[in-house]
Structures are given as C-alpha cells and as structure tokens.
Amino acid sequence: MMGSLGSFVFFGFVIGSIASTFMMDVFSYKIVLCISMIGHASGEILFITNTNYYVVAFARFLSGFGQILLVVYTPVFLDLYIVNE
C-alpha cells in the first residue's frame, strides 16, 4: 500500500501532460504557471501535514500534476517572452 504512493506522482505526470495540451490553448501562460505552482505547493503541503492514505495519495497526484505543468510551460514561456540578444 505504501509503495503505491510513489506511483501517484507519475500518474499525475501522465494526466498533467495530457491536460497541459488543452490548457495551452485555453489559458494564458502566466495563469497556467501560477496555478501549477500553487497546485504543486499545495500538494507538497498536504503531503507533509496529513497521515490519511487517501489524502496523501491525492497530494502526491496534485504535486505531480503541478510539476509537469511547470516542466512543460516554463520552456514555452521563456521561448515566447524572453528575447535573446
């Protein structure tokens, strides 16, 4: 049971990478980056403050979901808005 907690992060990666393609079309980059940072931080705070298995599993999923959005969106944001001179 406890070994499955590690897999919830990767499940969040998979769902987040699929959802990020749709979120790119709907929302602006700044909003998605802010929401993903809040989601990732909330997941980590939930993870360290709870002992209930289902809450901790959801926290790990939320952390993975927010982390993959940061991994996908940050290079796109930098490529679009940071000008190389």
| Residues 75, 77, 81: CA angle, nearest 5 degrees | 125
Count of other CB atoms within 10 angstroms of residue 45? 13
Q: What is the tens place of the pLDDT at every residue in 4-59?
A: 888 999 999 999 888 888 887 898 878 888 888 999 999 999 999 999 999 999 99
| pTM, full prediction | 0.82
Sorted by where each begins, the domain ranges of the chain are 2-81
Q: What is the tens place of the pLDDT at every residue in 57-71?
A: 999 999 999 998 888
d(CA 85, CA 76): 18
